[in-house]
A and B are shown apart, each in its own frame.
Chain A
Amino acid sequence: MKVNHINSNLIKININEALRYLGYRNNNVDVETYKLLNESIIELQNICEFKYVYRIFEVKNENNIINFENFIKITSNDLAKLFKDCKKSAVIAATIGFEVEKRIKYFNSTNLTKAVIFDACASAYIEALCDYVESEIMEIAAQEDYNTTFRYSPGYGDVPISHQKEILNALNAQKYIGLSSLDSSILVPRKSVTAFIGFNKGNETNNKSCLNCNLYNNCSFTKKGENSYDK
């Protein structure tokens, strides 16, 4: 297990990612939106608390049940397929903290335009933090001569989102990074992610694919003829 709180200058976001969440594709962004984007990014750099915890589990994968040392047990065809040759898995939880949540609420009452833009930038930040954690996990895997699968979260494919609580408990996430979930499995603070990354010996890396996602039929990106992952 490892817990880390990192400095904000280690995390950089891609502004296009935030724009994509707002529905822009390769369109020109108007000046005012651009100004609010920049304001939001500067503000987020000051208030984000980048925190994560992960733990490497031995995994058993039998009859479509993936067992993480009895801490988490998931019944899923999709994850079983992804974890076909995996003997281990990292389980990660990451968050950018409550201050962001509070700011979004504040803008929601004072300036809805800014709220929407700020929210999109915050989403880009948690994604960027996950990328950072993922690269750390890949290094660990490489030291032990493993490849890694892509990041897979509850709610993808047929993995029920209701596993959030087990995952958070297994990582002691509330204690270490202040992350918990509601009955509805919504993570709080909301700009947070939990995910699995499998360790396998195969050469083939599994790419992120939209077809693996249960939002595939109703994704706002695919609806517009665009993909989230198949970039």
Chain B
Amino acid sequence: MINKLKEKFLYFDGAMGTMLQKSGLNIGELPEELNILKPEVIYNIHKEYLNAGANIISANTFGANKLKLNNSSYTVEEIIIAGIEVAKKSIDGLENKYVALDIGPTGTLLSPLGTLSFEDAYDIFKEQVIAGVKARADIILIETMTDLYELKAAVLAAKENSNLPVFCTMSFQDNGRTFTGTDIAAFVSVAEGLGVDVIGVNCSLGPKQLQSIVDELIKYSSTPIMVQANAGLPKYNNNITYYDISPEEYSHEINKMANKGVSIFGGCCGTTPEYIKSIIATLDELKPLELTKKHFTTTTSSSKTVFLGDEVKIIGERINPTGKKRLKEALRENNLDYVIREAIAQQDTGSDILDINVGLPDIDEKEMMKKVISEVQSVVSLPLQIDSSNVEVIETAARIYNGKPIINSVNGKKESLEQILPIVKKYGTLVVALTLNEEGIPKTAKKRLEIASNIINTAKSYGISEENILIDPLVLTASAEQENVMETLKAIPLIKKKYNVKIVLGTSNVSFGLPNRKLLNTTYLAMALSLGLDAPITDSTNEALLDVIRSYKVLANQDIDSKDYIRTYGNVTTENTFVTSNSDLKEIIIRGLKDEAKKVSLELLKKYNSIEIINKYMIPALDIVGGKYEQQEIFLPQLIRSAETSKVVFESIKEKLANEGNDFVDNKKILLATVKGDIHDIGKNIVKLILENYGYKIIDLGKDVDIEKIVETIHNENIHLVGLSALMTTTVKNMEYTIKAIKENSPQIKIMVGGAVLTPDYASKIGADYYSKDAREAVNIAKKIFEN
């Protein structure tokens, strides 16, 4: 069928919903049930579209998933089989007609935006695919997706459970993004990577507004493109709902799209057989254009696409525990706040991609990698590079990653190629390829090229194209192998001349063991860039390295008109000219002067020990702030600001202790969590911040937390007090179940609860020991528990 596209356009049908409404049926909320209840109505609609000339009939299965059919008396399988059967019946005896299993969104959101796990979404789609295959559908159409992550789950389910061609469309707003923020380039990168057969857009807009989106699709896609536009957006006037684009206007726009390279058409909301007829009449004389093959090297998150090659991109290296004491500690303690702060700091200083390595001998690397990727992706929009030496970790991460990641790394060893390349192919990722093999790191540039060639050719045999490979020619340390340092750099132009691959390089090892490392690092980086390095793996929080990159971009004509350069260096003023009028730490905390807190506390730490500072300045200040809050002299924002200021002081103390080789003793542990099903966490975060300031050690399990996870953590971490939060009447139920489970497993544990819908009565009814009306109250409760 796809091969026929060279000769002829393919035509889908138009809207089902619009036709059902026209049929005058009172359809209620589950139109898919009609496949069983009124198959003749569905049959007639299919027939109308076939008579209009459609080649592909979408079965009435758009919403036939476990979640949407929750209240139905029919199963997913029953409804899908009935839907495909009636569609099959409608094409019976006709030639060149096909039936598509139509799969729409689940109707809820995947975690971390929502609460549905990626694996559960996959299972929901899998059930649909299996039913569709059983009913002998010809095509799988995954359509109207707005969440790239959900799309990935659906495509994987289709590919892993069928051999059918997969068509997939997302729906975009006029700003060129889906509702959840995915742009066309990211969509194409991910869908093509996953190996879909047709890629396209549908719904949301009328054909006219879709033109610019189609242009973008054509710019990036090497895969056949389909368009199913709405007949405009529904409008309401004089008691009538109507769509304002006529079939003629509609097909006029479609004609333009066909001339740009779109080859498959159909209709979405508001379209009827008349529209399909009109499209076919308009395109009758035309032949589809062949799409040219595109050669972009892209990595994406769900909302950001980074193109490698046009200009230097920075791969941030800081999330890697090797040689980093604080990060090691944070990972062991499950303290993802620290990891997220590192990610944000790199994003804010100009990293374009972040390398993620969480390999430590004494942690479950796979689980940690999943968690870190999910958390980092929920806050930072940059694409990520999955960095691990464990194949299983890499595969799991590539699967649950939202977007098109980079895998770091494969190398020239046979075993590595055999293990890593199938993952790269299956999930459509980029891969960093190290020029080493069984014989180690070669001495010469020429030998590096040979290994690169071998990797590239082997990758091609797996169906991986050059543009998805990033070669790392491996830096040597000048103090150890000075005579070969230049060989790495010489390899860059050698490799680039022969192949359309990009070059990455972790540059800072060059200076290891020598004084003034900054000087060597910056010089080496400048040399590598001028020879064609596309993406240094480096530290964007390091100003000296950024200086090199910014100036290189000017000289290489990448920073056009030197805009970034001038913005950065044009009016450099000395920072912090603000003179502190107040050096009293107590006053600084009360007034919430975050910027001054660190400097003053470092001064004080020269004179006093940490306990003195906490008892003499912090606690009294916090008590005063708390009192003022209770008296309504100050309000929530000021309370939080003081607490954040106090946290700065705390961090300084901890840092000093760590430098002196001491640990801050915090054995007063409190577990906090927003209960299962609930995703509100600002309130919980405020409580956490305030409690931390009073020296409590907070184990924060986040939001939407499984009951078992809470019970297990209490047991493993030796917790004395648990704080649970829920904001909704519907999730307070889960709070009750959580309390019950905790009390059954650890009867001695005290539990405090809070959240908008709770009252003291209700709290005690569901078995909580304390009701905490706000963060201040939580401190009083904690004092009571730990002072007894």
Task: List chain A positions with a Cβ less than 8 A from chain B.
Answer: 1-5, 22-24, 27, 30, 32-33, 36, 49, 54-56, 69-72, 97-99, 101-102, 104-106, 108-113, 115-117, 119, 140, 143-144, 155, 161-162, 165-166, 169-170, 172, 174-178, 180-186, 188-190, 214-215, 217-218, 220
Contact = CB atoms under 8 A, between A and B. Distances in A.
Contact of B637 (A33, A110, A180, A182): A33
Contact of A184 (B379, B637, B730): B730
Contact of B233 (A3, A54, A111, A214): A3
B146 A116 contact: no
B745 interface: no
A184 B728 contact: yes
Contacts of A71: 28-29
Nearest to A21: B636
Contacts of B632: 23, 27
B107 A174 contact: yes
8 contacts: A1-B236, A32-B592, A112-B685, A113-B592, A119-B682, A172-B269, A178-B146, A183-B108
Contact of B234 (A2, A110, A143): A2
B33 to A, nearest CB: 12
Given A27-B635, A143-B238, A181-B108, 14 more contacts: A2-B234, A2-B235, A32-B592, A105-B378, A112-B644, A161-B728, A174-B146, A175-B269, A176-B204, A180-B107, A182-B109, A183-B115, A184-B677, A186-B728
Given A140-B236, A217-B759, A109 B28 contact: no
A111 B644 contact: yes
Contacts of B554: none
B641 interface: yes
B34 interface: no
B212 interface: no
Of the candidates B269, B680, B689, the one having the most CB atoms from chain A within 10 angstroms of its own CB is: B269
Given A23-B635, A182-B115, A109 B146 contact: no
Of the candidates A4, A99, A180, the one having the most CB atoms from chain B within 10 angstroms of its own CB is: A180
Interface in B6-29: 17, 26-29
B281 interface: no
B713 interface: no
Nearest to A189: B113
B180 A98 contact: yes
Contact of A69 (B26, B173, B337, B734): B26
B729 A161 contact: yes
Nearest to A179: B179
Q: Which 5 A-B pairs rank lowest in CB-CB distance, beginning with the nearest?
A: A178-B179, A2-B236, A184-B677, A70-B28, A184-B730
Nearest to B179: A178
Contacts of A112: 640, 643-644, 682, 685-686, 689
Interface in B25-43: 26-29
Nearest to A118: B682
B29 A144 contact: no
A189 to B, nearest CB: 8
Nearest to A24: B635
B716 interface: no
A30 B171 CA distance: 44
Contact of B679 (A117, A169, A176, A186): A186
Contacts of A55: 236, 241
Interface in B537-591: none
B66 to A, nearest CB: 12
Nearest to A95: B179
Interface of B: 17, 26-29, 68, 105, 107-109, 113-116, 144, 146, 171, 173-175, 178-181, 203-204, 233-236, 238-239, 241, 269, 337, 340-341, 344, 378-379, 381, 592, 632, 634-638, 640-641, 643-644, 677-682, 685-686, 689, 728-731, 734, 756-759
- Binding site of B, secondary structure by majority: helix, strand, loop or mixed? loop
A98 B636 CA distance: 25
B106 to A, nearest CB: 9
A109 B340 contact: yes
Contacts of A101: 113
Contact of B756 (A56, A113, A190, A220): A220
Given A109-B341, A186-B728, A215 B757 contact: yes
Contact of A218 (B29, B640, B677, B758): B758
A218 B759 contact: yes
Of the candidates B178, B180, B238, the one having the most CB atoms from chain A within 10 angstroms of its own CB is: B180
Of the candidates B113, B592, B678, the one having the most CB atoms from chain A within 10 angstroms of its own CB is: B113
Nearest to B174: A5
Of the candidates B109, B592, B731, B757, the one having the most CB atoms from chain A within 10 angstroms of its own CB is: B109
Contacts of B689: 112
A116 B640 contact: yes
A166 B29 contact: yes
Nearest to A165: B107
A108 B241 contact: no
Given A106-B379, A109-B379, A170-B29, A144 B179 contact: no
B638 A30 contact: yes
Contacts of A27: 632, 635
Contacts of A176: 204, 233-234
A165 B180 CA distance: 19
Contacts of A190: 679-680
A11 B568 CA distance: 35
B181 A99 contact: yes
A22 B635 contact: yes
B241 A175 contact: no
Contacts of B233: 3-4, 176
B679 A116 contact: no
Contacts of A144: 239
Contacts of B635: 22-24, 27, 33
A129 to B, nearest CB: 16
Nearest to B676: A184
B238 to A, nearest CB: 8
A98 B234 contact: no
A23 B682 contact: no
A70 B26 contact: yes
Contacts of A23: 632, 635-636
Contacts of A36: 637
Of the candidates B107, B337, B635, B757, the one having the most CB atoms from chain A within 10 angstroms of its own CB is: B635
A140 B240 CA distance: 12
A178 B180 contact: yes
A113 B641 contact: yes
B637 A117 contact: yes
Contacts of A56: 236, 239
B682 A108 contact: yes
A5 B146 CA distance: 16
A98 to B, nearest CB: 5
A219 B135 CA distance: 54
A141 to B, nearest CB: 12
B108 A32 contact: no
A94 B757 CA distance: 23
Contacts of A119: 682
Nearest to A115: B682
Contacts of B234: 1-3, 176
